[in-house]
Structure 1
Amino acid sequence: MSFGKGHHLHLIDGSAFIFRAYHALPPLTRRSDGAPVGAVAGFCNMLQRYIAANEGPDAATHLAVIFDKGSHTFRNDLYEAYKANREEMPEELRPQIPLTRRAVEAFNIPCIELEGFEADDIIATLARQAREAGGRVTIVSSDKDLMQLVGGGVEMFDAMKNRRIDVDGVREKFGVDPARVVDVQALAGDSVDNVPGAPGIGVKTAALLVNEFGDIETLLARAEEIKQPKRRQTLIDHAEQIRLSKSLVQLDDNVTLDFGPDDLELREPDPDALLGFLTEMEFRTLTRRIAEALGVEPPVVPDVAPQEEAGGDDPETPAPAPFEPQAYICIRDMGTLADWIARARAQGWVAFDTETTGLDEMRCELVGVSLALAPGEAAYVPLAHKADGADDLFGGEALAEGQIPMEEALAALRDLLEDDAVLKIGQNVKYDAKVLARLGIRMAPFDDTLLMSYAMYSGLHGHGMDTLSERYLGHGCIPIKELIGSGKSQITFDRVPIDKATPYAGEDADVTLRLWQHFKPQLHAAHVTRVYERMERPLAPVLARMEMAGVRVDRDTLSRMSGAFSQKMAALEAEIHELAGERFNVGSPKQLGEILFDKMSLPGGKHGKTGAYATPADVLEDLATEHELPRKVLDWRAVSKLKSTYTDALQEHINPETGRVHTSYVQSGAATGRLASTDPNLQNIPIRTEEGRRIREAFVAEEGKVLVSLDYSQIELRILAHIAGIEQLRTAFREGQDIHAMTASEMFDVPLDEMTPEIRRRAKAINFGVIYGISGFGLARNLRIPRGEAQGFIDRYFERFPGIRDYMDDTVAFAREHGRVETLFGRVIHTPEINARGPRAGFARRAAINAPIQGTAADIIRRAMVRMPAAIEGLPAEMLLQVHDELLFEVEQGAEDALISTAREVMEGAAEPVVKLDVPLVVDAGQGANWAAAH
C-alpha cells in the first residue's frame, strides 16, 4: 500500500513503554527459570491494549514501534557529557530489553532501531516522510523532546493519560509554537539529558525571550538589547554553550533509512507466533485474552509465577469499566444524596474523598465531597464553591448556586460516615478524617489504599493516588494544576467552577475504589495482612489524634534563640575569616570554594555545572578531618540551619487558633516503616549538639501540665544483638551494662574502670555506624579523624564481633535471591536495586542490611502507639509526638508517675506476643516543663 492521503501512521516510543512497564509493576519472575519478566508483561499488556483500542477516526493504518539502540549517538560526539548523568539501567531490566523486541515482532509490528541515532530521530524522520506524503502521524509518547514535531498533520498521544497533544498542548507546555520548542530547550537546558543550556534561565524565561526576539541566533545577536543585566550577560557569556545545546535538542529528521512509511502497514498478528511467545513467557491471562480476541483455542500455559498469582491475574488487568470523568454526576439536592447514601448502606461500603481549600488539615475549609459505589459510578457533592464575582448580603463572597447547604449535607453524611456497618474506602484517609473531625464527624471504619500499597510494595515506588492509578490501573488522573493553576496565579478549590470540579473529584473516588478492589485481595496472598491490619490501619487514627492535639511552642523562646544563633554565627564568621586570612561571604559556596581550593590549595576541589567549586557537606566533612577552617564552616552551617529551619520557621507554624504546632506524620514516608514528619518536620531536630538540643526548650507544657518523654534505650542495637545472635551484646544488655563502654573495652582492651569519655564516644559512633553500614570514610567524618584510623576501628569491630559480618552477608544474600528483606513482624521491604552495579550498589547493600533492624524498631514503636490510647484512657494525658524511638506526652501535674508506669509497660512489652526478643527492651523516662528538660 502506497502511503498517502487518508492514511495514518502511529509511531510508538518503545523505550517509554518499557520503562513505564518496568516502574509500574512489582517484581515478576518466570517460574520455570526465575528470569525477570515483569517489564515484558507490562509492555505486552500496554501494546495489546493500544492495538485493541485502534478504531475510530484516529485509528492507525500504519504502525511501528521505535527503540533506542545503544547509548552512543552523534550527540555524544558533539558533547561528551550528553546524558552522562543518567543512571545505569537496573540489572533486572537489562535482560528484558531483547524480550520486548521479540514481543513487538510477535505482535507482527515493525520493530525499528538504528545504531548511532536515538529513537526520537527515527520518529522525526518517519514523521516528516509521512507528512510530506500527505498522511497523518500520531506519535505515541509524552516525551517533551518530541513536541517540536507537532503540527502540520503530526500530533502526539499520551497513552498513560489518554490525552492528545496538539499545537495548543505544546504552547501550554512550553509557551511557544512547536517550531520554537528547540529554542526554548536550548536556553533552558535539560538536567536529565545533561544539556547545559543557559545558567539560571528556565522554561518560562526562555519562552519570554524567544517570543520577543525569535530564534536562538536572532536572540544572541540582539542580546545587548535585553534590559535585565544578569540575563543579558548570561546570554553573552554562554552563547556557544547555548548553540551547542540547540544542536543537542534539535531532532534529526533526515536519518538514512532503508524503509519508509509504505513499509509500515498495519498487519494482523500470526496467532501461532504471538501465542507461542506469550506461552514461553508464562503469561496465562494475557495468553487467554489474546486467544479469545483472535478467535482461537488458548494454549496450555505453565503455572504462573507466585507474584502473578498474588494479583489474581496478569499485571495491569484492565479496569472493569472505562474511565469517563465527564460521566460522573453532580449531586445538588438532598433527594439524590439520600439515594446514594441508602445504596452505600445497602452494599456496606463506599469510596469517599474530600475536596478542601488547602493541604493543612487544621486550617483548610471543606469545599465538597465525592463518593463512588462501583467502578465508573461516582458523584461529587459541592458544598462551598464560590460564585464568580458575587457578594452575599453580609459583604462576603456568595456561594455558587445549586449546592446543598453545608449543615444539611453533613447531617446526612454523618450518619453514613459514622455507621460502623459501612466500610469507608479512602486514599490517605488520615487527611479526610482530620478535616471531618474538625466538623464533628468521626469517620470509621475505613480501608486505606495508600496504606495497602505501602504494606505490599514498600521500597518499590511511591504510594500517592496518581502514581498508583498509573501503575495498577493504567490510568492517568486529571492533574490538579489544570483546575487551580500554579505559582502566584494559583486559586483555591472553592473557586473552581463546579462543572470542572465534578470530573476531578469524582475521579478521585472512582480511582480509590478501583485501587481498593485491586489491592484488597492481594494482602493475604502477599502475606502482609498482619502488617496492614495490626499496624498500618489502626495507627492512622492514632496519628490523626496526635496531630490534632499538637504541641505548644513558645514564640518568645524561639525569638531569643534566633538572636543567640545570630551572635554565634557572627562569632564563627570571625574565626573563619581569621583562618582564611580575609573576609568573604561564608554562605557563598563560590567564595568558599575559592578560599579552600584556590587560596589554601586543599585537595578535592571539583567544579560544578556553574563553573564554581562544589562545597557540599560531604566535601567539607572530608576536609574537616585535616583542617580547621572547613570544621568551622560546618559548625556555621549547622547553626545557620537551626536558625532558618527551626527558630525562625517554627514561629510561622504556630496555629493562630490553638497556639500550638501541628505536624503531620507520613506513614509511608520511609521504606523501613519509620514515620516521617512534615510541616514542620520535627523528626530532624538535631540533638547531638548543645545548640540543637536547646531547640527543644521552646516546646513547652500548658499551664498546670508537664511534658513526659519515654525513649527506647538503644533499641536498634538490641535488635541487632537478637537478630545476629551476638552473645557479647546479648549478655551486656541482659546485665544492664553500659553497651558503649563494653564495646570499647572489647575493641580497645581497656578495662571498664579505666574507660575515658573519648574512647567510649568512639565506640558509640562505631556501634551505631555499623548498623547503617558505615564506611571508613563515613566514620572518619563523624569522628573527624584520618580515614585509615577509622577503617582500622571498623576492621577491629568485625574481628571482635564476627556474628555481625555473618548477619550482613546473609541478609544481602537473601535480598539478592528474593528481592526483599523482612522485619521480625513480617513487614516486607523490597530491595529493587540490590543487584545494581556502580555507586548504587553500595547504597542498596547498606539499605538492605539496615532495613530489618530499623524496620523492626519502627514496628515495635508502631505497635506501642496503637496500644497506647486504650492504655492511658483513664489518665489526664495525651500523646503528642513521636520522634524516632521516643514518645512525648502532655499530662496534668500529679499524674506523671502513673503515666510513666503505664506507658513504659506498653512500650517495653510492645514486641510481644508476636516476637520474644532475647534481650529486654528498656525505656528511659523523663519529665519537665519543656521537651529539653523531659528528655
Structure 2
Amino acid sequence: MDSKQHLYLVDGSAYIFRAYHRLPPLTDPEGTPVGAVYGYTTMLWKLAEDLDKAEGPTHMAVILDAGSKSFRNDIYADYKANRPPPPEDLVPQFPLIRDATRAFSLPCIEEQGYEADDLIASYARAAARQGWDVTIVSSDKDLMQLVGTCAEGGGKVDMLDTMKNLRIDLPEVAEKFGVTPDKVGDVLALMGDAVDNVPGVFGVGPKTATKLIQEHGDLEAVLAAAPEMKKSKLKERLIEQADQARLSRVLVALKEDCALPIALEDVKLRAIPPEPLAAFLGKHGFTSLLKRLETGTGSPSKTTDLNPAKAQTAAAGSGEGADRQPLPEMPAIDYAAYECVQSVAALEAWVAKARAAHVLAVDTETSALDAMQADLVGVSLAIGPNQACYIPLGHGGSDMFAEKPEQVPLETAIALLKPLLEDDAVLKIGQNIKYDLNVLARYGITVTPIDDTMIESFCLDAGRGTDGIGGGHGMDELSERHLGHKPMAFKDVCGTGKKAIPFGEVPLDKATHYAAEDADVTWRLHTLLAPRLSDEGGTRIYQRVDRPLIPVVAQMERHGIKVDREKLAGLSAQFAETIGALEKEIHAAAGQEFTIGSPKQLGEILFDKLGYKGGKKGKSGQYSTDQSVLERLAEEGAHVATKVLEWRQLSKLRSTYTEALQAAINPRTGRVHTSYSLVGAQTGRLSSTDPNLQNIPIRTEIGRQIRDCFVADEGHVLVAADYSQIELRLAAHMADVPSLREAFEQGEDIHARTAQELFGEVNRDTRGRAKTINFAILYGISRWGLAGRLGVDADEAQAMIDRYFERFPGIQKYIVATLEGVREKGYSETLFGRKTWFPRINSKNGAERQGSERAAINAPIQGTCADIIKRAMARMMPALEDAGLGHVRMLLQVHDELVFEMPEGDVAAASAVIERVMAEAAGPAVALTVPLGVEIGSGASWGAAH
C-alpha cells in the first residue's frame, strides 16, 4: 500500500437524509423510529468495506451538522429560512445516527455555529497542506469549491459521489460549472440557491452565471463591468442587486479555518472492533446486519449505495433479508440517451432490439385518465437502463389545421407493435400495467406475458409505504425510495389549471424525456424488485394470486355493467324529495333553519341550543358531529340526531350513486366501467373507484334499490355468487376451533351456535349479539368498542369477551400467537403467504400500537379471504370456457361476491361451475378443514339476484 496519508471525510448529513427518504418507516424493539438509522448504518458499513478493499484510506471521519443555525444566520437572518423542519419521525433518529457512527469506532465531528461543509473544508485544507490526499464523500455542489491540488503542501482533494459511484475531480467540476473550483463560489453567488435561500441575482441561472464568470473572471469583475454592458434586464439587475450578489458570495464561501475539534492524527482509520457495533445492532433489532457481522460475510449489500430493495426493511427483530442476492449497478438517468422514434425504420429497429432483449418495459401516454375513453398518444419502451424510447402516435394540435410533427402513422405502429406485445417470448413489464392493457385492448392488442412493478412492490411491502396502502407503491414513490431518483412530474410537462395542455400537444423532446423515463424507471424497478420476491418469500403470492389476476380484472373493467338511467334518475328524485322532507323535520326539531351539512352549525344546534350532553370541541373550536357522536345521541333519544344520520346517508348515496352513476355511463358502451385497484387495501382486498361500487349498503332497503338499477342486457340475467360467512369459516380453520368447524360442516347457523355457547339460549336478541361478537372479536375489538356496539357497559362487554374465549379457546390462542408473531417479525401472513407489515406494532404511542394490533389480528383472516376470491376469479373464465360457457361475463367483485352476466338459459349450468370454482379456490395450495359455502342467486337486476 502507498504510504501517503489519505483522509476520507464523509458528509454524514447528506447520508442521513438520503437514507431517510429511501427507506420506509421502521421501528426498533422499543418502538423508536430507526429507518434512517438502519439506512445510514448500512451505507457507512458499505463505504468502509469498499474503501478498505479498494485503496485503504488511512484516516476517516464523519462530519455532521450540529444544528439548524450557523454563523451565516448572523450575516443573513433568512439563510435557509425556506427549509421545512425535519420530519417528525426523523428527529429522534439524529442522536441514534451519532451512536451508529461511534459504534463503527469512527470519529463523529460536529461544531455548534458551523455547518458540516465548513468543517469538511477546514479538515480538507489542513490535511492537504500537510501533503495528504483528501476525498470528500458527498455530491454537494458547494463542496466542489475544494477540489484540486493544494499549492502549499501538494495534497490533492477530490470527491466521491456514492450515489453515482463517480469520482469528482477537476474535469467533472469544469463539466458541471464551466469554471475551475476556485470560481465555483462566484457562479453560485450569481445564481443563488433556492434550497438554502441564498438570494443571488434574480433571473440569473447556471448558464448565465457561468458565462459571466468565464468572460470577466470573478464576481467583482462582473459587477464592475455591469455599467458598461448593453442595455438589458441583466444589466439592470446586476447593478441593482450588486450588494445582494456580494452577500451571496459570503454565504456560499466555505470557512476553511475552523478549529479542528479532533486532531488530524486522531482520525486514523483502524480495524472496527466488533463489540460496540454488535451491541448497537442488537439493541436496535438490525438482526440481518448482526448475523453478517457474526459470520464475517461482509456488508449487507454489494451495490455502490444502500438500496432498500436489498436492505432489512422489517420491524425490529425480523431478521428478514439476511441473505439477499447482490443487486446490479445501474447508471443515473440520462435523458439525452432516450430516442424519439419518428420513422418506420426506427420503430422496426426497436422492435428487433426488444425481441432480442426478451424483457421489455412498456408504458402508454394517452389523452385521458379513463382507459375506456382515452386515445393513444404514444408508447414508450425500455430494454435496459437509459435504453429507452418514445414512439409518438397522436401528437399535434387538436385543430385539424394544426401542424403535426413527424410520427409513425397509428395503424402502421399498431401493426408493428402488436406481434411484439403479444409475443410469449418477450416479457412485458409495466407499472400499473392494467391501465395499459385496457388502452391497448381497444386497439386490438392483447399484451402477454406481463409483470407489474406496482404489484411486485405490494407483495413485498404492503403496509410499509408512507400511507400504508396503495400510495406507497406508485412509480414516483418507488423510484425515489429504491432508485434515489425523482421522476419528472406530469404537471411540469403539461402544466396545471387553465394553462394545462393535453399530452399530445407537448413538444416531442419534452414528451420523450417524460415518457421514456417512465419506461426506464419501470425497467429498473423490476430489476430490483423481482429478485426480492424469491429472496423474501413473495413469489408464491405474486405468481399464484396477484399476477394472474391482472388481465382478469382488466377484462372485467372493459366489460362494465349496464345501469338503468331512467330508474337512477327516478330514484335520485325520490331521494331528493325525502332529503327535503328530512330537512324540514330537522329544522322543526331544532326550532330554526340552519345548514345541516355544516358541522359547526350542527354542533351549535345540538349542544348549545338543544343542550345535549357530551359535546366535545376540537382544536378548531367547534363541536365534533361525526358518525359516532350522532349515533350516541340517537341511542339516547335525540330525534334530531336520528334524522341527521338519515339525511347524511341519503345525501351521500344520492351524490355518490344515483347522480354520479348517471354521469359515469360511458357514451360509447352505455355501461359503467369501474376501476379496480389491486393495491388499494393492505390486506390484499380489491378496491373500486370511479365509481366506487363497494360501498353500497349491503343489507338495507336503500342499498337494494340502488342495486336494482344495475341491470342485465336484454335476454340476459345477472348472477350473484357470494361466499357465506367466509371470515368465520377461516377463523374456525386458522384458530382450530372444533365446535365452529363442526357447525360449518353440519350446515348449522353459526351465530345461533355461538349464541347457544355464550348465552345458553337462542332467540333474536342473543343471536344478534352473538353475530356482533363473532365479527368483532376477529377485528380485535376492545371492551369499550364492544360495549358501544351492544349498548352495554364495559364490564359486561369484557365478561362476554371472557366467556367467548372460554368457549372458543382456539380464538384466543390465535390472537395471542398472531400478535407475538407480528411483534417479532414485523408482519402478519395469510395462508397463501401474503405479508402485511405493521411498523407501528411496537410503538410507544398507545393509540398507534393498539390500532396496529387490531389490524394485525384481522389481517391474516381478511387477507386469506381476499386471496381465495382472487384465486377463484383467476380460475373462473378458463373453467367456464371448458364447460362451453366462454360467453359468460364476469362483471364485478364486491367484498366476498362475484357478479356475472349471461343468457337466461345458461344460469343452471354456469351456476354449477361458478359454485365449484369458488368452493375449491383454496386448493390445492391450502387444504381447509371447513367447507367454503357459496350462495348464488339470479335476476334481471343485481338487486334481484340477491
> Which residue of 2 is the match for residue 312 of structure 1?
325
User: Which sits farther off after the overlay, 400-409 or 672-681?
Assistant: 400-409
Deviations for 1:723-749, whole angstroms, at most 9, x for unmatched residues?
111222111111111111222222222
Contact residue 348 and residue 422 of structure 1 kept, 8 A: yes
What are the residue-to-residue correspondences of 1:571-590 with 2, within 5 Å?
Answer: 571-590=581-600
In structure 1, the partner of 2:65 is 66
Report the Cα offset of residue 506 of structure 1: 1.2
Partner of 2:314: none
Give the drift of 1:858.
0.6
**Residues 586-625 of structure 1: matches in 2 within 5 Å?**
586-625=596-635
The CA deviation at 1:138 is: 8.1
1:852 matches 2:860: yes
Give aligned-pair identity as a percent: 47
Amino acid at match of 2:415: A
Q: What is the CA–CA distance in structure 2 between the aligned matches of 1:136 and 1:86, rounded to whole Å? A: 21
Separation in structure 2 between the aligned mates of residue 96 and residue 584 of structure 1, nearest angstrom:
51
Partner residue of 2:696? 685
- 2:40 aligns with 43
Q: Displacement, 1:68?
A: 6.5
1:274-673 mapped onto 2 (5 Å cutoff) = 282=289, 286=299, 307-309=320-322, 311-313=324-326, 319-387=329-397, 391=399, 396=400, 398=402, 400-461=404-465, 462-628=472-638, 629-673=640-684
Pick closer, same or farther for the CA change 1:672–1:287 going to 2, 3 Å.
closer
CA distance in 1, matches of 2:321, 2:200: 38
Distance 2:304 2:335 in 1: 31
Alpha-carbon separation, structure 2, partners of 1:157 and 1:328: 29
Q: Counterpart amino acid of 1:271?
A: L
Deviation of the 1:63 alpha carbon? 9.4
Letter in 2 for 1:43: Y
Tell me the equivalent position of 1:864.
872
Q: Is the 8 A contact 1:820 1:828 kept in 2?
A: yes
Counterpart residue identity of residue 721, structure 2: L
Structure 1 letter corresponding to 2:554: A
Provide the residue aligned with 2:835 in structure 1: 828
Alpha carbons of 1:378 and 1:660: their partners in 2 closer, same or farther (altered >3 Å)? Answer: same
2:193 corresponds in structure 1 to: 155
CA distance in 2, matches of 1:89, 1:542: 40
Residues 334 and 638 (structure 1), Cα distance of their counterparts in 2 relative to 1, 3 Å cut: same
**Per-residue deviation, 1:607:** 2.7
State whether residues 15 and 67 of structure 1, in contact with CA within 8 Å, keep that contact through their aligned partners in structure 2.
no
Question: Does the 8 A contact of 1:311 with 1:518 survive in 2?
Answer: no
Deviation at 1:354, TM superposition (A): 0.9
**Structure 2: how far apart are the matches of 1:479 and 1:542?**
30
Alpha-carbon distance in 2 for matches of 1:156, 1:39: 25
- In structure 2, how many angstroms separate the alpha carbons of the residues matched to 1:656 and 1:415? 31
Q: 1:454 to 1:267 in 2, by over 3 A?
A: farther
Question: Cα gap change, 1:723/1:289 in structure 2, threshold over 3 Å: closer, same or farther?
Answer: closer
Whole-Å separation in 2 of the counterparts to 1:167 and 1:15: 31
Structure 1 residues 693 and 836: alpha-carbon distance in aligned structure 2, compared to 1, 3 A threshold: farther
Distance in 2, Cα, partners of 1:910 & 1:551: 25
1:495 Cα offset (Å):
1.5
1:9 Cα deviation (Å)? 13
Deviation at 1:625, TM superposition (A): 3.3
Structure 1 residues 342, 761: closer, same or farther in 2, change over 3 A? same
The two structures have a TM-score, normalised by structure 1, of 0.74
Q: 1:645 to 1:138 in 2, by over 3 A?
A: farther
Contact 2:434 2:550 in 1 (8 A): yes
Distance change in 2, residues 1:839/1:14 (3 Å): farther
Measured after TM superposition, the shift of residue 404 of structure 1 is 1.1
1:772 to 766, 776, 779: 779
CA–CA separation in structure 1 for the residues paired with 2:301 and 2:24: 25
Aligned length: 768
Cα distance, 1:887 vs structure 2: 0.2
Question: Structure 2 counterpart of 1:377, which letter?
Answer: Q
* Aligned counterparts, 1:804-815, within 5 A: 804-815=811-822
State the distance in 2 between where 1:622 and 1:267 align. 70
Q: 1:166 to 1:859 in 2, by over 3 A?
A: farther
Q: Out of 722, 725, 740, which is 1:729 matched to?
A: 740
The Cα shift of 1:600 comes to 3.4
Instruction: Give, in whole Å, the separation in 2 of the partners of 1:500 and 1:741.
Output: 66
Partners of 1:522 and 1:577 in 2: CA distance: 60
Moved more, 781-790 or 519-528: 781-790
Inter-partner Cα distance in structure 2 for 1:916 and 1:448:
29
Deviates more, 1:354-363 or 1:560-569: 560-569
Shift of 1:490: 2.6
Q: Cα offset for 1:110? A: 5.8
Distance 1:898 1:273 in 2: 74
Question: Take 2:371 and 2:459, find their aligned partners in 1: how far apart are those partners?
Answer: 24
Task: Describe the SS at the equivalent of 2:64.
Answer: strand
Cα distance in 1 between the residues matched to 2:381 and 2:99? 43
Check 1:879–1:267 CA distance in 2 against 1; reply closer, same or farther (3 A cut): farther
Cα distance change on mapping 1:779 and 1:290 into 2, 3 Å: closer
Q: What is the CA-CA distance between 1:663 and the residue it aligns to?
A: 0.7
Partner of 2:492, secondary structure, is: helix
Note if contact 1:743-1:763 (Cα within 8 Å) is conserved in structure 2. Answer: yes
In 1, Cα distance between equivalents of 2:372 and 2:560: 10
Larger Rg: 2
Q: What residue number does 2:20 align with?
A: 19
- State which of 919, 922, 925 in structure 2 corresponds to 1:908: 919
Cα 1:324–1:438, aligned 2, differ >3 Å: closer, same or farther? same
Contact 1:106/1:270 (CA < 8 Å) preserved in 2?
Answer: no
Amino acid at match of 1:700: V
Selected match of 1:103 from 101, 104, 126: 101
> What is the TM-score normalised by the length of structure 2?
0.73
Distance 1:291 1:400, change over 3 A: closer
Distance 1:466 1:415, change over 3 A: same
RMSD, aligned CA? 4.2
Q: Secondary structure at the match of 2:364?
A: strand
Q: CA deviation at 1:598?
A: 1.7
- Structure 1, unaligned stretches of length 5 or more? 1-7, 54-61, 70-84, 115-120, 141-149, 172-252, 293-303
What residue ranges of structure 2 are gaps of 5+ in the alignment? 1-8, 52-60, 69-84, 123-139, 145-160, 162-187, 206-249, 282-288, 306-316, 466-471
1:500-527 CA distances to partner (integer Å, 9 max, x unpaired)?
0111111111111111111222212212
Note if contact 2:318-2:826 (Cα within 8 Å) is conserved in structure 1. no
1:871-904 Cα shifts (integer Å, max 9, x gaps): 1122131000000100000010111111111100
Helix, strand or coil for the counterpart of 2:944?
Answer: helix
2:901 to 890, 893, 909: 890
8 Å contact 1:367–1:494 — kept in the other structure? yes
**Gap change, CA 1:427 and 1:275, over 3 Å in 2:** farther
| Contact 1:104–1:111 (8 Å) recurs in 2 | no
Shift of residue 793 of structure 1? Answer: 3.9
Q: CA offset at residue 583 of structure 1? A: 3.2
Change (3 A) 1:365 1:609: farther
Q: Distance in 1 between matches of 2:836 and 2:204?
A: 40
Q: Partners of 1:472 and 1:168 in 2: how far apart?
A: 36
